[in-house]
Chain A
Amino acid sequence: MFIEIFLFEIRSRVRRPAVYLYFLGIFIFTLFAFSTGSLPVLEKEHINSPFLISFWCCAMTMLMTLVSSSVMGTAIFRDIEYQTKDYYLTYPITKAGYFWGRFAGSFVFMIGIAMAIPLGIWLGSHLGPAIGKTAAAQYGPNKPIYYLHPLMLLGLPNILFTSTLFYGLVAVLRNVKVIYFGGLLLFLFYFMALFFLNHTNNATVIGIADPFALNGVREQTMNSNYLLQNNSLIAISGPMAINRLLWPGIGLVVIIITYLRFNFETFFAGRRDKAGADEISERSRTELKTPALSFTGVYNRRVLSSLVRLELLNIIRDNYFWVIVGVGSLFLGFVFWMGEGNEGVPDYPRTVMLLSIFSDAFPFFIFFIILFYTGETLQRDRLTRYAYINDSLPPPNWVLNGSKLISLLVLSVGLSFLPVVLGVVVQLAKGYTHLNWNAYLTYLFIILLPKFLEAAALCYVIQVVFNNKFASYAIAVPLWIGMFFLDSTGIFNYHLMLYSFTPNSGITDMDGMGHMVTPITWFDLYWMLGATLLIVIAALWYHRGVSSSLKERWQLVAERLNGVTKGIATLLLLLFLAVGGYIYYNISYLNEWLTKDEQQDRSIIYEKALKKYQGLPLPSVTNIVESIDLYPEEKRAVVDARVTIQNRTDKPISEMLLDADGLADYSITAAGQPVPVSYPLMYRRGKFSWFGPAADTSDFRLYTLRTPLAPGDSAVLEVRSVTLHKGFTNGLYAGNLLNNGTFFTTGLPGLGYDDDDEVGSPYVRKKAGLPPKTEEEIAQNDPVGINTLKEGAGNLYRMEVTVGVPGDQTAVSHGDLVGQWTANGRNYFHYVADRPGMYPPFAVAAGKYAEKRDSVLVDHPIGIEVYYDPSQAANLDRYIKAYKDGLTYYAHAYGGYPYGSIRQVETSNYGPREATSTAMNFYAEANDWNAHFSDPDQYDYLHYDVTRALAQQWWRYQVAPNETVGSLVLSEGLATYDALVMIGKKYGEENIRPILQDQIWPYNFIRRRLTEREHPLLTANFWFEWGPKAGVVLYGLRDLIGEDSINKALREFRDTYAFRARGPYAGANDLYDVLRQHVPESLRYYLDDTWQKVTFYDNEIIDVSAVKTARPNVYAVTIRFRIDKFYRDEKGNDVPAVGMKDYIEIGVLGADAKDADGRTVKRFLHRKKYWLTQGEHTMTVTVVGEPKAAAVDPLGTLIDRNGGDNYKGIE
C-alpha cells in the first residue's frame, strides 16, 4: 500500500512543472553566486570552501521554506482541494500507507530540489574560471566530503524540519492557508533570532535558537581563519550539535504525533454541521415583483464600493490575517520595546531609531502579507468556483477588477501605518513624548507607502497575467528578493531599472530626510507611474470567466486596446518616460553612475597611470588661512585659501599631483599667477552615461610650479575651490552638507598619490597585470616611518579659518574662536589653531545647534562647549562632568591643555560615528547622546567615551604617533588607559574588574583565532592589541608601580614629544623606553612580559574556606590557589614561565555594599600583593567582617587565559 501511494505521488509530481522551476531557480541562483564569487568571501578564502558550502546550504534551505510549503503542504491537501476525498475514503487504503506514502513521495522531491545546491556549487566552481569571472586559484579542491557533510548535516535536516512541519500542519488543520502563514511565521521567528544575535553575546542561545543553523555557521565562520574555512568542516558539536538534533527532531516529533492523531474520517469528512433537513414549508403565492433596475448613474460607484467592502471583509474576516498581523505586531512591538542601547543602557525610544529598526526586515515581512493577500483576493472567486456566477454579472470589468485592486491598495495603506501606530504606542508606553511626527510622516509617505503600493501593483499584475496563485508567488518572491539582493550587494543598483527602488536615505532627528526627499520623491513618482502602467497591463489582461488559452486572452488584449486605453497607456508611458528621463538626466548626465566593474577598472587605470608619481617629493603645509562659505540648503561650499607650503625634503619640488577629492572645481595660483596644470588621467564615460563626452578628465591634476621649490624654501599658494552638487544621484549624496548637520573638511584638494585607492584583490590585480601588493610593517627604526605621522601626509601646521553659515546655524572648528559676527543674514566664525599649531585631521561642523557651556579652571580656565541638537539634551550634565573630571586630572598629571576650550559636537549619522580632533570631539546623532540612564548600577559609558576621547588631546594631538608598527599604542592604548583610570576614580578601583574584563574580552576571543603570529604590545598590529590590551596592561603597570610613578613617566614622555613640528615623531618603543626608566628593577619582568613577549596567566582559586576565630567578627580565611604563567613562543607554542616569581595580589571580599549613589560596590576585607612562584599555594589570612569570596588578581589587571576561575565564593 505504501509503495503504491508513494509511486502514485511521484508519478503525479513528475508531471508538474513547479518542481522543475524550483530546482532551476535554486540551481541558477547558486551557479551564479559560485561562478561569479558574489558571496561573503575574503581574499584567501576559497569560494567553494566547506564553510561557504555549509553557509549556502543553510541559507538556501532556509529560502526553500517557501518551496517546502508549496510541495509538502499540498501533498495531502490535494485530496481535499480536488474533492477526491469523497471517494478516496472508500478505498481499502491503510492510514500508514496513505500518510507515509504521500509524505515520502513528496519528500523525495524536496531532496531532489535540494540537489540543485551542490550541483550549482560544483558547476559554479568550474564555470567561474572557465568564463573568466573568477580565477581558478579562488577555488579549492572539490572533495566529496565538503559537499556531503553540509548536505547531510545542515541542508537535509533543515528540509526535513520544514517538510515535516508543513505536512503535519496541513494534516492537522486541513487548511492550505496554514502553510504559507506557517512559512511567514517561520520567517518572522527567524528575524527574531537575528534580532537577538544583534543584541546578545550569548552565542549558545543564538546557535540553538536558529532552526536553520545559519547563525551557528556564521558564528563559526567569523571565528575561524581562511585555512580553517578552506580545509575543515563545520564542527557539529556543542550548541551546533544540539541544534542539529533539536530542530529536525522537533520536525519528526511533530509528524509522528500528527500521524498518531491522524484520522481518515475527520481528515476527509471535515465539519459536518450542515443546515437542517429539507422541509417543505408553506410557500407564498405571491408573484415576484419586478424591481427597478438601473445600470447608470451611481451604479458603478456604488457597486465598486460595495465590492471593495466585500473584499476587505473577506480579508479582515480571515483569522489567519489577524494571526499573522497580530504576531507580526507583537514581534515588532517587542523589538521596538527593546530598542537599541550600549553597554546594557537602553537608548531613548526615538522615532528615528524605531524607524531604522523597522526598515531592517519588516518591509519584507509586509511585502509577503501583501503578496499572499493579492493571491487570495484575485484567485478566491476562481478557486471557490464562484467566478462562474460572479463573472457573468453586469458590473463592467473595471469595476470588478478595480474593486480587487483598490482593496489591495487599501490593505497596503493600512499595513504601512503599522510602524507608526506601534511606534507611537511603544513610545508613549515608555513615557517618551518627544514624538518626531515629521520623521514618521516622511518615512510613511516617502518611503513606505509608495513601496507598498508599488509592491501591491506588482503582485497584482503578476496574479492577473499568470492567473495562478502559486505560480505567481513563485514568480514574485524571487523577483522581489532578487532585486533586493542586487541593490543591497551593489552588484547592480541602478535604481531606474530596479522596480520600486529609490536612493537610500537615513532619517535623523537633526535633518529628517533632508535634501534626499527630493530625489526619492522623483523616484517615487517614477515608480508610481510604473505601477500604474502595470495596472494598465493588468486591465488589458484581466480575465473573466473560465480559464482560457493565451490565444483567447491575447484576443481580449487586442480588443481592449482601443482608443481610450491606448490613449491612457500612451499618456502614462510618456509621463513615465519623461520622469525617467529627468531622473536619468540627473543621475547619468549631470552625475555619473558606475557599475562595480567600472569602478574597479578605474582603480586599475588610476594605478597604471599615476603610480609613477608616488615618488614625487611632497611639500609640507605649514600654514593655512582660509575662508569657508557653507550654503547647506544649496549643497554648496566655497573655499578661498592661502596655503603656505615648505619643501622639507632634500630635493627640489617642481610637480604636485592633486586629487580633487569630491570638489566640483578648484584653481591654484601662486602670487596671482595661475600654476600650469595638466591632466594625466582621463576616464572613459560610464556605461550608462550615453550623452556625455566619450572620455572626461578625472579628479587628478598635475601642477607644475613655475619655479621649483628648493629644499628649505617656502611658497604661498592661493587655492579657490567650490563644492557643489548638480542635480541628484542614484544614491545618497552630499551626506557632508546636510541642511542641518554639515561635516566639512578643508575643501582643499588632496596632495599626492594615495595607494589606498588601489585595487586590493590579488586576483583582480593579477588579471589586470598589476604587481602584487604587500602590506609591510614599518620597522621602529625606519627613518621614513619615524618622520611620518600615522595620520599620513601632513605635519603640525597653523590653521586659521573663517566659516560662514546661514543665519540660524553655528559653525564649530578647532582652536580658539577669535571672532564672530553677522553679515548679510549669515553668521561668521573665525577660528585660529596656533598654540602652537595642530596636527591633521581638520574639520568644520555646522548646524542648528543648541549650546551648553561650562568651564573648569586648570592652569587656565578651559571652556567646555557642547553643541547638540535641541531634542537630545538628556545627557549634557554627564558630558560636562566627564570633561571636567578628565581635564582636571590629565592637565594635573601630564601637563597643560593648550587651548581655551574643548568642544563636543553632534554630527549627522552620515559622518563619523565617533571622532576626535584638535580641541574638538564628534559624536554622531545615533551614538551616545540618547542613552537613557535610570539605574545607578548602569555603567556610565558616556563618561568612559568622553574621557577616552579627551585623552587623545594629549596622546594624539599633542604627542602625535609616527607611522611605525605599534605606534597606535600611544593614541589608542594611552587613551584607553586614561579612560580606565578615570572610571576607576569614578566608581572606585575595587570595582574595576568587570570593566577590565570587558576590555580584554575581544582580545582573548580573537587572538585564539589569529592566523598570524601574535605581536607583543611593543609592535601591536591589531586594534584589540593596541587599544584594549594596551589599556589593561598599562592599568596593571599603574597598579604595580603606583599612580605617581606612571604619571611622572607619561608627563616626561609628553614633554619630550609634544607638538613636534617635524620628525622624528613618537613610536611605541619611545613610550616603552620612558616607562622602563620609571619601573623599578624588581618589577621590570611585568614590562618585559607585556611589551616584549606575549604572556598570559592561568591563575585559579582552587579552594577557599573561612573559619570564625575566637574574636568576634574575625575570620580566618584559608585560600588554596594556583599561579601559572605562559609565554607564547615564535612558533605559536605555549611555554611555561619557568622560575617565575611575580608580584600578584590576593584579595578577600565581604558582602557587596551600596555607595552614596546607590550603586553596588565591592568591599575588600583583605587586599595585598605577594611575591608568588609558579604552582599551588595555600595561605591563611585573618579578616574583620564576614568573608564572601576570595580572589587571585582581584582587579583583573593580569591577562589571564580564563579570568572566570580567579574568584571563588565562600560557602
Chain B
Amino acid sequence: MQLSIEGLSKTYSNGVRALYDVNLTLGNGMFGLLGPNGAGKSSLMRTIATLQEADKGSIVLDGLDVLHNKTRVRQLLGYLPQEFGVYPNIPADRMLDHIARLKGVGQAGERRDVVQGLLEKVNLYKDRHKHLGTYSGGMKQRFGIAQALIGDPKLIIVDEPTAGLDPAERNRFYNLLSQLGQNTIVILSTHIVEDVSTLCSSFAIICKGEVLYAGDPEKAVKELDGVIFSKAIDQADIGYYRNIYQVISTQLKGGKLHIRVLSKDARLQDGFAPAEPNLEDVYFSNIATRVDVNTL
C-alpha cells in the first residue's frame, strides 16, 4: 500500500490557510503526524478521510484517486476523529453491529464475531450492553477505536487517539495498532512526541499547514547528533541566551531553567554541555522556524 499526497492545499472561507502544498508519501506501517495546535493535522486527516474537500492537489492510494473516489476509499478506511459523538440511547454492541454492516460485513455471524472481538480488544466487552450515553470519556474513546478498526481497514486514520486513555490503555492501543500496521497504512496524529519515536516508522512535522519535515524518526534524531547542547541557567537570564543562541526548548526543574540549544559549533562554550538529541529536539527545532516556541 502506498499513499501519496501531492501539492495538497486548502484555505478555509475565513482565510485560514489549513494546508499549503503538502507533499507526503506513506507506505505500510505507522505514520505519525506531529505539529502544534492548529497546524493542519486534523485538516489533513479529514481530507484523506474524505470528509473535506481540497482546493488543490491530489491524494492517491495505490492508484486510487482519493479525492474523487470517496466511496471506494471509505470502503478501505478506518477513521477515528479527534472529537466525535455517539447516539446516547443505543448500546455499544448494537451500534458497532450497525457500523459493521455499513462497513460491508454482510454476514450476521461474522458481524457478531467482529464486534465481540473488538469489544474485547478495547476492553469494553463487559459494558457492551450499556448505552453509549453512560460511557465515560475514556470508554467513549475506546468505542471510537473499536469502530475505526471494524472491517479490516487498509487505511487507518486516528486523530489523537490516546487522548483520555490511561497509560495502560494507551499501551494496549499502541500494541494493537502496531500489529495492524504491518500490512496497512496507519496515520496517527499526536502531541506526544515520544509516541512517535517509539511507534512510527516514519513521521512528518507540520506547522501552519506546511510540511516542515518528513522522514524516519531515528534518522531525524541522528541528524541532530552533536548539535544539541544543554545548560541549567537562572530564569532571569533567559533573555540573554535567547539573543545569542537558538534555544529550542526550556524546562524548569528545581528552580533552575534547563535549556537546550541547537548549535553547529561542536565545541560550544559558555557552560553548555553536549546533549543526546531526541525527537523533541527535532520537533522544536523545526517548528521554531515558523512559530515562536516559548515554552516558558
Cβ-defined partner of B46 (8 Å) among A299, A307, A545: A545
**Which residues in window 69-91 of B have CB below 8 A to A?**
71, 74-75, 77, 79, 81, 83-89
Distance, CA A565 to CA B51, complexed state (A): 22
Cβ-defined partner of A274 (8 Å) among B13, B102, B136, B166: B136
Distance, CA A388 to CA B157, complexed state (A): 12
Cβ-defined partner of A280 (8 Å) among B101, B123, B152: B123
* A303–B102 touching, CB < 8 Å: yes
Given A278-B139, A394-B102: A384 in contact with B123 (beta carbons within 8 A): no
* Stretch of A413-421, A546-554, A1012-1020, A1051-1059 lying at the B interface: A546-554
* Stretch of A114-122, A218-226, A290-298 lying at the B interface: A290-298
Specify which chain A residues have a CB less than 8 angstroms from the CB of B49 in the assembled complex. Answer: 392
B127 at the interface (CB under 8 A from A): yes
Cβ-defined partner of B53 (8 Å) among A291, A306, A314, A552: A552
Range for the number of chain B residues in contact with chain A: 35 or more
* A303–B75 touching, CB < 8 Å: no
Minimum C-beta distance from A686 to chain B (A)? 47
Specify which chain A residues have a CB less than 8 angstroms from the CB of B102 in the assembled complex. Answer: 303, 306-307, 393-395
Specify which chain A residues have a CB less than 8 angstroms from the CB of B113 in the assembled complex. Answer: 289, 291
Distance, CA A384 to CA B86, complexed state (A): 6
Given A274-B135, A291-B105, A556-B53: A551 in contact with B84 (beta carbons within 8 A): no
Distance, CA A284 to CA B166, complexed state (A): 20
Contact with A along B5-40 (1 / 0, CB 8 A): 000000011000000000000000000000000000
Distance, CA A383 to CA B99, complexed state (A): 19
For A280, A389, A552, the residue with the greatest tally of chain B CB atoms inside 10 Å of its CB is A389
Cβ-defined partner of B106 (8 Å) among A284, A292, A388, A544: A292
Distance, CA A307 to CA B98, complexed state (A): 8
Distance, CA A1032 to CA B68, complexed state (A): 86
Contact with A along B38-74 (1 / 0, CB 8 A): 0000000010011111000000000000001001001
* Stretch of B114-122, B259-267, B269-277, B280-288 lying at the A interface: B114-122
Cβ-defined partner of B114 (8 Å) among A291, A385, A546, A559: A291
Contact with B along A516-558 (1 / 0, CB 8 A): 0000000000000000000000000000111011111001100
Specify which chain A residues have a CB less than 8 angstroms from the CB of B71 in the assembled complex. Answer: 394-397
Specify which chain A residues have a CB less than 8 angstroms from the CB of B81 in the assembled complex. Answer: 388-389
Specify which chain A residues have a CB less than 8 angstroms from the CB of B111 in the assembled complex. Answer: 291
**CB-nearest residue of chain B relative to A388?**
B81
For B49, B84, B105, B111, the residue with the greatest tally of chain A CB atoms inside 10 Å of its CB is B84
A16 at the interface (CB under 8 A from B): no
Distance, CA A273 to CA B111, complexed state (A): 29
Minimum C-beta distance from A1010 to chain B (A)? 64
Specify which chain A residues have a CB less than 8 angstroms from the CB of B144 in the assembled complex. Answer: 389
Cβ-defined partner of A275 (8 Å) among B50, B53, B130: B130
Specify which chain A residues have a CB less than 8 angstroms from the CB of B243 in the assembled complex. Answer: none
Distance, CA A273 to CA B133, complexed state (A): 9
Distance, CA A379 to CA B152, complexed state (A): 29
Distance, CA A397 to CA B68, complexed state (A): 13
Distance, CA A393 to CA B135, complexed state (A): 23
* B126–A281 touching, CB < 8 Å: yes
**CB-nearest residue of chain A relative to B67?**
A559
Contact with B along A143-172 (1 / 0, CB 8 A): 000000000000000000000000000000
* B120–A293 touching, CB < 8 Å: no
* B51–A546 touching, CB < 8 Å: yes
Contact with A along B134-176 (1 / 0, CB 8 A): 1110110000100101011000000000000010100000000
Distance, CA A555 to CA B79, complexed state (A): 24
A823 at the interface (CB under 8 A from B): no
For A274, A291, A545, the residue with the greatest tally of chain B CB atoms inside 10 Å of its CB is A291
Cβ-defined partner of B50 (8 Å) among A286, A385, A392: A392
* A386–B126 touching, CB < 8 Å: no
**CB-nearest residue of chain A relative to B152?**
A290
* A280–B168 touching, CB < 8 Å: yes
Specify which chain A residues have a CB less than 8 angstroms from the CB of B194 in the assembled complex. Answer: none
Distance, CA A552 to CA B111, complexed state (A): 36
* A392–B51 touching, CB < 8 Å: yes
Specify which chain A residues have a CB less than 8 angstroms from the CB of B98 in the assembled complex. Answer: 306, 310
Distance, CA A274 to CA B135, complexed state (A): 6
**CB-nearest residue of chain A relative to B157?**
A392
B125 at the interface (CB under 8 A from A): yes
* B106–A299 touching, CB < 8 Å: yes
Contact with B along A820-836 (1 / 0, CB 8 A): 00000000000000000
A317 at the interface (CB under 8 A from B): yes
Minimum C-beta distance from B234 to chain A (A)? 36
Given A317-B89, A392-B74, A545-B46: A281 in contact with B51 (beta carbons within 8 A): no
**CB-nearest residue of chain A relative to B43?**
A546
* A275–B127 touching, CB < 8 Å: yes
Distance, CA A550 to CA B14, complexed state (A): 12
A391 at the interface (CB under 8 A from B): yes
Specify which chain A residues have a CB less than 8 angstroms from the CB of B51 in the assembled complex. Answer: 388, 391-392, 544-546
A288 at the interface (CB under 8 A from B): yes
Distance, CA A391 to CA B71, complexed state (A): 10
Distance, CA A307 to CA B49, complexed state (A): 21
Distance, CA A280 to CA B85, complexed state (A): 25
Minimum C-beta distance from A397 to chain B (A)? 8
For B71, B102, B117, B123, the residue with the greatest tally of chain A CB atoms inside 10 Å of its CB is B102
B107 at the interface (CB under 8 A from A): yes
Distance, CA A278 to CA B141, complexed state (A): 13
Specify which chain B residues have a CB less than 8 angstroms from the CB of A299 in the assembled complex. Answer: 104, 106
Distance, CA A310 to CA B94, complexed state (A): 11
* A549–B136 touching, CB < 8 Å: no
* A279–B126 touching, CB < 8 Å: yes
Cβ-defined partner of A303 (8 Å) among B53, B101, B134, B135: B101
B208 at the interface (CB under 8 A from A): no
A276 at the interface (CB under 8 A from B): yes
Distance, CA A12 to CA B74, complexed state (A): 39
Specify which chain B residues have a CB less than 8 angstroms from the CB of A286 in the assembled complex. Answer: 117, 120
Specify which chain A residues have a CB less than 8 angstroms from the CB of B126 in the assembled complex. Answer: 279, 281
A1111 at the interface (CB under 8 A from B): no
Specify which chain B residues have a CB less than 8 angstroms from the CB of A383 in the assembled complex. Answer: 85
Distance, CA A556 to CA B70, complexed state (A): 12
* B104–A294 touching, CB < 8 Å: yes
Cβ-defined partner of A389 (8 Å) among B99, B130, B138, B168: B99
Specify which chain B residues have a CB less than 8 angstroms from the CB of A544 in the assembled complex. Answer: 50-51
**CB-nearest residue of chain B relative to A385?**
B85
Distance, CA A397 to CA B70, complexed state (A): 10
Specify which chain B residues have a CB less than 8 angstroms from the CB of A289 in the assembled complex. Answer: 110, 113-114, 117
Specify which chain A residues have a CB less than 8 angstroms from the CB of B121 in the assembled complex. Answer: 283-284, 288
* A389–B151 touching, CB < 8 Å: no
* B83–A385 touching, CB < 8 Å: yes
* B136–A288 touching, CB < 8 Å: no
**CB-nearest residue of chain B relative to A273?**
B134
* A295–B152 touching, CB < 8 Å: no
* B136–A275 touching, CB < 8 Å: yes
Given A275-B134, A394-B71: A306 in contact with B101 (beta carbons within 8 A): yes
Specify which chain A residues have a CB less than 8 angstroms from the CB of B89 in the assembled complex. Answer: 317
* A386–B85 touching, CB < 8 Å: yes
* B117–A288 touching, CB < 8 Å: yes
* A548–B52 touching, CB < 8 Å: yes
Distance, CA A341 to CA B51, complexed state (A): 61
Minimum C-beta distance from B21 to chain A (A)? 19
18 contacts between A and B (CB under 8 A): A275-B130, A275-B134, A280-B168, A281-B125, A289-B110, A291-B107, A291-B111, A293-B103, A294-B106, A295-B104, A302-B106, A384-B86, A388-B51, A389-B147, A394-B77, A548-B53, A555-B53, A556-B53
Q: For the complex of A and B, list the 5 residue pairs with the smallest distance between their C-beta atoms, beginning with the closest.
A: A545-B51, A385-B85, A549-B13, A388-B81, A384-B85
In addition to A279-B126, A548-B52, 19 A-B residue pairs with Cβ atoms within 8 Å of each other are A274-B136, A275-B130, A278-B138, A278-B139, A278-B166, A283-B120, A293-B106, A295-B104, A303-B102, A314-B87, A383-B85, A384-B86, A388-B81, A388-B85, A391-B51, A392-B51, A393-B74, A544-B50, A548-B53
